[in-house]
Structure 1
Amino acid sequence: MTLQQLLMDTALSFVVLGATFWPLERAFSAWAGQRFLRPAWGADFVFFLGQYLVWGPLSVLAIMAARPLLHPEALAGLRAAVALQPTWLQVVEATVLCDLCVYVWHRLCHQVDWLWRFHAVHHSVEHLDWMAAHREHPLDGLTTQFVCNLPAFVLGIPLGPLAMVATFRGMWAIFIHSNVRLPLGPLGFLLGAPELHHWHHARVERTRHNFANLAPYMDWLFGTYHRPADEERWALGLAEPFPRGYLAQLLVPLPTLVRAWRCWRPRRAARCR
């Protein structure tokens, strides 16, 4: 893909997403009166550009490069059996396993200190809307996408049939961050509603609820489901101090990663206790 095509695709994505979600946010506002150019909108716009122009394409290349390494011979028989299944069943299996893997990974990102330092970038947003969904550290986004695609890679499920599901999941991920209060009724058990994820972003010390962004039934199974009964009046963001600039947010977790690597090495583990 050329730079010109990448720029055109990014501009088109911005227009399509804005045209899709801005009217929803005006008609069904969770926080009435929130301006389009609300505080920190510019920082989130830079995150948007970074994702579409740099980190997204690099993540795709990294994930595709890793795919051939994830075909253990011990699972050759299982992959052969999966290949005989109808396409719709493969898609369902990959989706459910993706939901499970993302749930476990997301929960770990809240419980493991050095993972949290990267995930905290996403939770630093203090005003939710469709643009805020793009505030994410590149390593956080890469690992989440890798974990989500891991079952399909291991089972040998072609990515083609999953493309439409992946597109839908991406749009839904933006929807649950948007400034929208639109309860989904019984459908909300299978697809995350905005109010569930809005609660996940509440300004508390590492929230303990609603880790399955797109699959609330996972939270129900593991006892972390919470649907707030009241309208959204809680504060958003982090309970801890955190830098606000784009570059500062990209750099602040890195010392924690270096320390985690040093502590992981057996000879130095004792020094980190």
Structure 2
Amino acid sequence: MQELDKLNQLTESHGELRPGKGLISGIVALSLAILCFLGVLAFHFPEYLTTPQLRQSYNVDVIRKIMYAALVIAGGIAIFNTVFGRARWLALAAFALVALTALLGGHKVPVNDFADNTPYIGLDWFILDLLGSSLIFIFIEKLFALRKKQPVFRPEWQTDFHHFIVNHMVVGFVLLATNLLVHKLFGWAAKDGVRFWVQELPFPIALFGIILVADLVQYWTHRAYHEVPLLWRLHAVHHSAKSMDWLAGSRQHIVELLITRTLVLAPIYVLGFSKEVIDAYIVVVGFQAVFNHANVSVRLGPLRYLIVTPNFHHWHHSQDDEAIDRNYAAHFAFLDHLFGTAVQSDRKWPDRYGVQGDYVPDGFLKQLAFPFVWKKS
């Protein structure tokens, strides 16, 4: 019971983790053990816990090897920390999850044929994205940190992590809802002749085209979120983050997510870009969405006037007066320069993040309700 209380205190806290006491390695072990446990559940119930579009893209044998390596690493760290008395409560929790995962079959759970049209949550997408994003972007943030004193577990990280979990778990609902809306609202606009011409474009031109089309829609949609009071109620949740890092971009109201994805996917569907081009676009947008919120000092010289960088997007999240309602583009910074909404400042980086007045509450559930209960004073 005491160990459980310590775990609860750990998840509710924030701040820098001091090396040498087993906390850092213990958290790594526990995180890997949790992901492995979720992975074994996905192996047992793939029809309900995995994303149909995603499971066609990854190699299950490779996933099994990754899970095995993660189990070995988590178990090894847990045993080492237990033997040498380093945060034993954390080590024992990690070891217990490793043992439970192994008892449930671990990486060897067979996956037989299963129905492909069942309702599901995207547990596999959550696992792969969390593992990949945390490994890549935490490493990048430590190498090129903008705010070097900002810890990985900074204030309000729990809220952003809850947004990350929910927005990834309901990926199936989001995909289904957006596809239905796109086909219902914009199906009439699809023309075979235009689609054929678009699909015949060379890959580099088509990739540039899909990003440009998506960003033009994203720009005006994003601008509407700022200029239309009713839409700002939703978007204020995203802007309420007071710290910028790889996890901050996950803070997004589910209704905003549905609206934006529907509007961005509409021209992509109508124009008929090929699957290869759409897949490449998804990689680009996935990377930029995380990287541009990251706590990294990257400006890219003159290229920053063409491409959206962390510096460009950090200004968009600033409370500083010169940054309000500026820098809307998601990919191409030249759109804001073209439409006159680029930040003009003598300073390289903003001072403060969040909404002016800090009126958005902290906590996932409170932020979920916020657009519908907020009464502007």
TM superposition score category, shorter chain reference: 0.7 to 0.9
1:115-150 Cα offsets, whole Å, 9 max, x none, are 000000000000110011100001111222222222
Which shifted more, 60-69 or 189-198? Answer: 60-69
- In structure 2, the partner of 1:220 is 337
Relative contact order higher in (CA < 8 Å, ≥ 6 apart): 1
1: distance between equivalents of 2:270 and 2:124? 34
Matches within 5 A, 1:42-53: 42-53=158-169
Structure 1 unmatched runs, 5+: 257-273
1: distance between equivalents of 2:366 and 2:339? 35
- In structure 1, the partner of 2:355 is 238
What secondary structure is seen at the aligned counterpart in 2 of 1:72?
A: helix
Query: Does 1:2 find its partner at 2:47?
Result: yes
The 1:252/1:73 distance shift into structure 2, 3 A limit, reads: closer
2: distance between equivalents of 1:68 and 1:87? 25
What secondary structure is seen at the aligned counterpart in 1 of 2:330?
A: coil
Tell me, yes or no, if the aligned pair for 1:121 and 1:136 is still in contact at 8 Å.
Answer: yes
Tell me, yes or no, if the aligned pair for 1:129 and 1:177 is still in contact at 8 Å.
Answer: yes
| Cα distance, 1:83 vs structure 2 | 4.3
What secondary structure is seen at the aligned counterpart in 1 of 2:292?
A: helix
What secondary structure is seen at the aligned counterpart in 1 of 2:187?
A: coil
Matches within 5 A, 1:174-189: 174-189=290-305
2: distance between equivalents of 1:73 and 1:147? 14
Query: Does 1:155 find its partner at 2:155?
Result: no
The 1:15/1:223 distance shift into structure 2, 3 A limit, reads: same
1:51-77 Cα offsets, whole Å, 9 max, x none, are 1112x3221111222343323268454
Identity %: 31
Amino acid at match of 2:47: T
The 1:167/1:29 distance shift into structure 2, 3 A limit, reads: same
- The size of the alignment, in residue pairs, is 255
Which shifted more, 205-214 or 244-253? Answer: 205-214
2: distance between equivalents of 1:116 and 1:224? 17
- In structure 1, the partner of 2:175 is 60
1: distance between equivalents of 2:319 and 2:243? 11
| Cα distance, 1:20 vs structure 2 | 0.6
Tell me, yes or no, if the aligned pair for 2:182 and 2:265 is still in contact at 8 Å.
Answer: no
The 1:170/1:228 distance shift into structure 2, 3 A limit, reads: farther
Query: Does 1:78 find its partner at 2:194?
Result: yes
Query: Does 1:253 find its partner at 2:371?
Result: yes
- Greater C-alpha Rg: 2
Structure 2 unmatched runs, 5+: 1-45, 51-121
| Cα distance, 1:191 vs structure 2 | 2.1
| Cα distance, 1:204 vs structure 2 | 4.7
Amino acid at match of 1:2: E
- In structure 2, the partner of 1:207 is 324
1:184-229 Cα offsets, whole Å, 9 max, x none, are 1233233211111111111157822100022101101101112654
The 1:43/1:142 distance shift into structure 2, 3 A limit, reads: same
* Divergent runs of 4+, >4 A: 73-77
- In structure 2, the partner of 1:269 is none
Normalised to the residue count of structure 1, the TM-score between the two structures is 0.85
